[in-house]
Amino acid sequence: MIPVLDKKHIVLGVTGSIACYKALDLASKLTQGGALVDVVMTQSATRFVTPLAFGGITHQPVVIDLFDPQSELSVEHVALAERADLLVVAPATANSIAKMALGLADDPLTTTLLATMAPVIVAPAMDGHMYENAAVQENLKKLRDRGVTIVGPDEGYLASGKMGKGRLVETPELMGHIRAILGKDGDLAGSTIVVSAGGTQEPLDPARIITNQSSGKMGYALAEAARDRGARTVLVTAPTSLPDPVAVEVVRVQTALEMRDQVFKATANAQALVMAAAVADYRPRLASPQKLKKDSDSMTLELTRNPDILTETTGPIVKVGFAAESQDLAQNAREKMARKGLDLIVANDITDPESGFGSDSNKVLILGKNGQVEDLPLMPKEAVAHRVLDRVRDLMAAEKG
């Protein structure tokens, strides 16, 4: 379940493009996330994918005919439009985009689009030359000017066999936009939250680095959760294999020193800093400009201490640290919280296989500076992120008041 999607009514408009198959995946991810998905298909879309396929995924009737006596639209043709929290047209063909721009209402989808007050996302999918056509570009501009969010299209392989711009964006990107729009008035709206993630890399020479096992998953989950709750979110991230979260300001860094500079910059206008990054405590004193040669049997590396970013961040800001410990979890975490001047510390035992590096779940203690302790069971990192942000929200409110 994804909290921002839970029980939200989403109308998924599917129009006649070969990319319809991707809309099945989107319908599935939305439904799994807890959304109630009403699929409205154009006649040509039903030639590519059957309504049965969508109905099987969403467990809701699929609307294809304006005059179908079984359809809710025939009872009250604006019913779907009224209960929708969001409308997503994916894939959107040149034809359906033109109808939207003109305000036509000759099928269930365009009727619903005209009747709704909810936000609308349109994800175009078409041949590259069609997309570039002035008529399509003008229509998209019209929609954008009316407040519609246009997502994509991507560049790449097209159904014609050619390369070009016209591919429907992938599901994760659409999910990101949907979550950001649904969450924009959430309980963190109006605040800026800076999150750090990943393991910093400290170069030894042009080929080698010193780094650690952090996957970045906890930090990315925090950034997505903050975005889903309406915060302006800045993610300062060391290299990871994770895709950039949508609607989050991503700042890429490599070393601890770069991370410090970017965290300082971002926190100048922020109300909270959540440091989930695994920052290297030491860096090689000198990074060799040339690749080091193996010309002796042993070598000694001289390391210099990195600055502590959390300690050095000052100002009226809620500071949250993470403590990965292998012994005396709570006591070590509490000492760290005091030493670094933190409001909150999230501690996990790295010897516990359930809380290991790279896993999708985590088992943590959340300790507050006033002595409160929350001992959370094993849960997905997304759920941990929300529990941390609940506390951050309360701390930010206390700081304000």
- Whichever of 188 and 275 has its CB closer to ligand C5P, that residue is 275
Q: Check residue 199 and give left, alpha or beta (phi > 0: left; psi -120 to 50: alpha).
A: beta
Q: Name the segment binding ligand C5P (CB under 6 A); options: 34-42, 88-96, 272-280, 288-296.
A: 272-280
Binding map of ligand C5P across residues 280-299, x = CB under 6 A, - = no contact: -x------------------
- Whichever of 42 and 306 has its CB closer to ligand C5P, that residue is 306
Vertex 302, ends 300 and 303: CA angle to 5°?
135
Distance set, CA 48 to CA 42, 44, 61, 158 (Å): 10, 7, 18, 16
**Backbone Cα Rg of the chain:** 25
Query: Alpha carbon 11 to chain centroid distance?
Result: 21
Binding map of ligand C5P across residues 247-266, x = CB under 6 A, - = no contact: ---------x----------
Q: Active-site residue among 212, 269, 348, 370?
A: 212
Q: Which helix (H) or strand (E) holds 101?
A: helix 94-102
Residues 301-330 that bind ligand C5P (CB under 6 A): 306, 308-310, 321-323
Is the CB of residue 36 less than 8 Å from the CB of residue 60?
yes
- Whichever of 15 and 200 has its CB closer to ligand C5P, that residue is 200
Residue 355 is a binding residue for ligand C5P (CB under 6 A): no
| DSSP class of 248 | S
Residue with tokens 């998209």: 140
The yes-or-no answer on residue 95 being catalytic is no
The length of the chain in residues reads 401
Is the CB of residue 21 less than 8 Å from the CB of residue 48?
yes
Pick the binder of ligand C5P from 279, 317, 366, 396 (CB under 6 A): 279
- Whichever of 81 and 278 has its CB closer to ligand C5P, that residue is 278
- Whichever of 223 and 277 has its CB closer to ligand C5P, that residue is 277
Q: What is the largest CA-CA distance in the chain?
A: 84
Q: Name the segment binding ligand C5P (CB under 6 A); options: 10-18, 139-147, 174-182, 274-282.
A: 274-282
Q: Name the segment binding ligand C5P (CB under 6 A); options: 28-36, 75-83, 129-137, 276-284.
A: 276-284
Binding map of ligand C5P across residues 180-219, x = CB under 6 A, - = no contact: ----------------x-----------------------
Q: Which residues are CB-contacts of 29 (< 8 A; sequence separation ≥ 6)?
A: 171, 175
| CA–CA distance, 336 with 287 (Å, rounded to integer) | 30
Residue 277 is a binding residue for ligand C5P (CB under 6 A): yes
Question: Shortest Cβ distance from residue 247 to ligand C5P (Å)?
Answer: 24
Residue 275 is a binding residue for ligand C5P (CB under 6 A): yes
Question: Shortest Cβ distance from residue 216 to ligand C5P (Å)?
Answer: 12
| CA–CA distance, 268 with 40 (Å, rounded to integer) | 46
Question: Shortest Cβ distance from residue 346 to ligand C5P (Å)?
Answer: 8
The count of C-alpha atoms lying within 13 angstroms of the C-alpha of 91, restricted to the half-sphere facing its C-beta, is: 27
Residue 336 is a binding residue for ligand C5P (CB under 6 A): yes
The count of C-alpha atoms lying within 13 angstroms of the C-alpha of 138, restricted to the half-sphere facing its C-beta, is: 6
| CA–CA distance, 291 with 209 (Å, rounded to integer) | 11
Residue 223 is a binding residue for ligand C5P (CB under 6 A): no
Is the CB of residue 211 less than 8 Å from the CB of residue 62?
no
Q: Name the segment binding ligand C5P (CB under 6 A); options: 69-77, 119-127, 273-281, 351-359.
A: 273-281
| Residues involved in catalysis | 212
Interface contacts to ligand C5P, rule CB under 6 A = 196, 256, 275, 277, 279, 281, 306, 308-310, 321-323, 336
